[in-house]
Amino acid sequence: MKYGIVTQTEEFMGRLTEALGILEPEKYTFFAFPNIEKAKTAARKKQINGILCDLELAGNEDLEDCPVPLLLLTETKEEENPDLPAPRYCKYRTCRDWNQLLQDHKDMRPPVIEKRELKNMILFTSAAGGTGTSTAALAFAQYCAKHRCRVVYLCFDAINMQSSILSPESMFGMDDYLSAVRNDQYDLRALIKRIIVRDEETGIYTVPPCKMPQDTMCMSGEEITELCRQVSGTMQDGIIVVDMKMDSSRNFALPAIMAQYIVLVLDGEQIANQKTMAWYRIFPNITDITRDELNHKTRMLYNRYRQKSGELIRDLPLGKLGGINLRDENDPKKLVRELARLDPIIRLGESIHVRRYS
């Protein structure tokens, strides 16, 4: 059996590997990892069958998506708790005890940890193109920045308007993040701090998009949610504004489940209304989210609304942020600043307690 060990006590690993090597030759192989994320990466590549990790090196978010059995190591017996999804055992025990413990847990299932919503993650999406989803998302990010909030705009659309609004200078971006998670090349948390950059004109933070659109299109739902989680941890309670197209795939479902709020951007046209209704019917059936949970976290925002041809969806039990009429402004930066001052954007900010300053 092959185990990954994440520990600050090198002496413990040395004693364990030496003792089990004598007691059960060729039965166990141990590999040292600097953090649990790298151990999970090795597990996904089928390089190890289980993980032993110091309790203080594993947060709750680290237990999510662990593909192999995980045992947490404590310093004292008083901290032991074998009944948790990731059981806790004191690392200081006899060689025979360790051998029996690993035997008892060799068929243990990976920990099933309830996924939590990411506080202050707002997902802007639309069932149809041309509704101004990115404009609305950037307007909300601008509203947050103007009210002295740390806000990060993350766009996962392959073809996007980000560069026309945000143009921070940076040598790093989403390409570097993908290289890190796919090739296990960097300390992920340190890299995240380098790829988040601030646009000086707007005050909005962002991660520059991939240079090649196909790289963005190939991002998995797991890669998207991990980036959001890492950015949220780095920004310390900042607001994460995610902009991505809606579909019924896992790549969209995972970020949608993680988001605290989903903002559906519609323009009132028939095609957008029909696709939105279809998504609302299907989404709870392809995920573990309930209809009530979806109703609670979803808001509708009408943007680029045409008074003569637009039609409101009235029979969905979703929160309504209001509407923004079609505007004549062609400068995207001016349009974003204008929308950031309107009531629908302000209502969204107030719903997540973005403080308003006069």
Report the C-alpha gap between 175 and 355 in whole angstroms.
34
| CATH 3.40.50.10850 segments of the chain | 2-104
Cβ contact 334:165 at 8 Å: no
Q: Which helix (H) or strand (E) holds 19?
A: helix 10-23
Write down the pLDDT at residue 358. 31
Q: Which residues of 191-217 are buried (b: 16+ CB within 10 A; e: fewer)?
A: bbeebbbbbeebbbbbbbbbeeeeebe
What pTM, to 2 d.p., does this model score? 0.69
Which structure tokens are listed for 104? 């008892």
pLDDT at 319 over 70: yes
Write down the pLDDT at residue 355. 54
Which structure tokens are listed for 290? 């309930």
pLDDT tens string 230-248: 999 898 779 999 999 998 7
Q: What percent of the chain is modeled with pLDDT above 90?
A: 39
In this prediction, residues 163-175 reach a mean pLDDT of: 86
Amino acid identity, residue 307?
Answer: Q
Write down the pLDDT at residue 113. 46
Residue 94's CB: how many other CB atoms inside 10 A?
Answer: 10
In this prediction, residues 5-16 reach a mean pLDDT of: 88
Residue 90 — pLDDT band, cuts 50, 70, 90?
very high
On average, the pLDDT of the chain sits at: 87
Write down the pLDDT at residue 255. 93
pLDDT at 189 over 50: yes
Nearest to 210 by CA among 218, 222, 202: 218
Q: What percent of the chain is modeled with pLDDT above 70?
A: 93
**Dihedral pair phi/psi, residue 68, rounded to 5°:** -135, 165
pLDDT tens string 254-309: 999 999 999 999 998 899 899 999 999 989 888 878 899 999 999 999 998 776 67
pLDDT at 24 over 60: yes
Write down the pLDDT at residue 294. 93
How would CATH label the architecture of 118-351? 3-Layer(aba) Sandwich (3.40)
Residue 115's CB: how many other CB atoms inside 10 A?
Answer: 14
Q: Which helix (H) or strand (E) holds 186?
A: none
Provide the CATH topology of domain 2-104.
Rossmann fold (3.40.50)
pLDDT at 200 over 90: yes
Write down the pLDDT at residue 114. 47
pLDDT at 185 over 80: no
Write down the pLDDT at residue 353. 72
| CATH 3.40.50.300 segments of the chain | 118-351
